[in-house]
Structure 1
Amino acid sequence: MNLETVELTKSFGGVTAVDHATVRFVDGKVNGLIGPNGSGKTTFFNCVTGMIKPDSGSVAYRGKDITKHASDRVARAGIGRSFQLCRVFPRMTVMENLLVAVRHPSVRTLLRSADDEHERERARHWLRRVGIDHLEHAEARNLSYGQQKLLELAGVLMGDPDTIMLDEPAGGVNPALIGRIATLVRELNEEGKTFIIVEHNMEMVMSLCDHVVVFDRGRPIAEGEPSMIQQDPRVLEAYLGV
């Protein structure tokens, strides 16, 4: 296991978003994290990646405790993530967005290092991989939402993470782009990347993921291969409402 949590808990006021969640994701595989709206999936992601601090419990990555790490330190440990609401710099070009992704301290650093051809070539490589290399000079605000999602993913890949956490990569994206994202995930997984994907598109989850964890009311209620999850009565009751 490369990423696991033990009794992870986070509350907001009187609402417990993540409730003593003990979860283990499978190294080298595409892991899915599913559950009803409000079941705590994004809060769980935020706790794991240092965006917010859990109230209790622990997060371990490759055998090291990262519970108290800030988000930049989590990223340096080898975990990259995307967000449910796409995060790009709208008035920067596609290329500038990728350079900022690896030069996060300041925009001034970006401008001072703008002649670094090595990083530009790395950026062009990932733009080709996600399929938007023809938009290198376009401002991000002029991209479609699906293209912005691909740009955000390319930015994650610029950090060369071992584990990639994607929060609803198919949300608001047309079927053609969903297919492109799924193909890219599988290719990158075959190249050694581990994925943890929060997603409501069940067709994508069941066809893409090797291992699925199901959340309900802030805690895991089932895990296993997609074929097992689809038949689990706890999942059918909590997630599918049958």
Structure 2
Amino acid sequence: MTRIGLAATGLSKAFGGVRAVDDATVEFHHGKINALIGPNGSGKTTFFNCVTGMIKPDSGRVTYYDADITGKAPHRIARAGVGRSFQLCRIFPRMTALENVLAAVRPPSRARLLASAHHRGDVARARELLSRVGIEHLESSEARALSYGQQKLLELAGVLMADPDTIMLDEPAGGVNPALIERIAALVRSLNAEGKTFIVVEHNMELVMSLSDHVIVFDRGTQISAGPPSVVQQDPRVLEAYLGI
């Protein structure tokens, strides 16, 4: 029996007269790589923002393993076990890669990030995660000196620093070269094998179909299809939303 982790029921969010998310009811499978796809403007990122507390929905309910997290502050949702990345990387450009990862669990002050012996365990873990994502050699480099793909890996390391059970990635392959896309995909697969649940917004359909166990399709702010990749890509509603046929 499929266990449901994160779920939304009747979720809506409007900006002026535009309903970016429109009565969306969605379930994400525990322990799986879930993909959330849809045409540009279909409400995927707004949905992410509502779920993670970045913005408050106008109506509806968000649950995480049956606990109501609707409208809670982002840090409280993160503490519940939900981590996320952003469509445009959120990093501290003038801080080093190591300091950026530490900032995920410590105040972003250089004097406090590295000086305290009490935090040595965090420093060791941050270095371990930089190695895990393959940029340990850039530990002392300022984040702004990294390529965009490397910044994506750095942001992922920061997400992992809090050890979330569920990881939401917003366009992890966007603007990234093919070699780094493969590295990100391999990381997602290996972390999933260790028990992490993923929810991935992505426009790279080849990546989505090869990586995902469960695919949810959005159009005009609501779910129009859900299921295994092989089923979803044959759904007439999906073909119509993407191709107009």
Q: Give the TM-score, by structure 1 length.
A: 0.97
Partners of 2:227 and 2:213 lie apart in 1 by 8
Partner of 2:152: 149
CA displacement, residues 155-200 of structure 1 (integer Å, 9 cap, x when unaligned): 0000100000000000000000000000000000000000000000
- Displacement of 1:113: 3.4
- Pick one of 159, 168, 172 that aligns with 2:171: 168
- Displacement of 1:105: 7.1
- Displacement of 1:103: 1.1
Partner of 2:95: 92
- Pick one of 201, 204, 210 that aligns with 1:201: 204
Partners of 2:25 and 2:232 lie apart in 1 by 18
AA matched with 1:218: G
- Displacement of 1:47: 0.2
Say whether the 8 Å CA contact 1:80–1:165 is kept in structure 2: yes
Partner of 1:13: 16
- Which stretches of structure 1, 4 residues or longer, exceed 3 Å deviation after superposition? 104-109, 111-115
Partners of 1:236 and 1:179 lie apart in 2 by 26
Partners of 2:151 and 2:26 lie apart in 1 by 30
Q: Which structure 2 segments of 5+ residues have no match?
A: none
CA displacement, residues 73-98 of structure 1 (integer Å, 9 cap, x when unaligned): 00000000000001110000000001
Partners of 2:31 and 2:114 lie apart in 1 by 37
Q: For 1:45-60, what aligned pairs fall within 5 Å after superposition?
A: 45-60=48-63
Partners of 2:142 and 2:109 lie apart in 1 by 19
Q: For 1:1-242, what aligned pairs fall within 5 Å after superposition?
A: 1-104=4-107, 109-110=112-113, 113=116, 116-242=119-245
- Displacement of 1:117: 1.7
Cα root mean square deviation, aligned: 1.3
- Displacement of 1:68: 2.3
Partners of 2:193 and 2:114 lie apart in 1 by 35
Partners of 1:53 and 1:161 lie apart in 2 by 22
Task: Report how many aligned residue pairs link the two structures.
Answer: 242
Partners of 1:116 and 1:18 lie apart in 2 by 41
Partners of 2:244 and 2:8 lie apart in 1 by 27
Q: Which structure 1 segments of 5+ residues have no match?
A: none
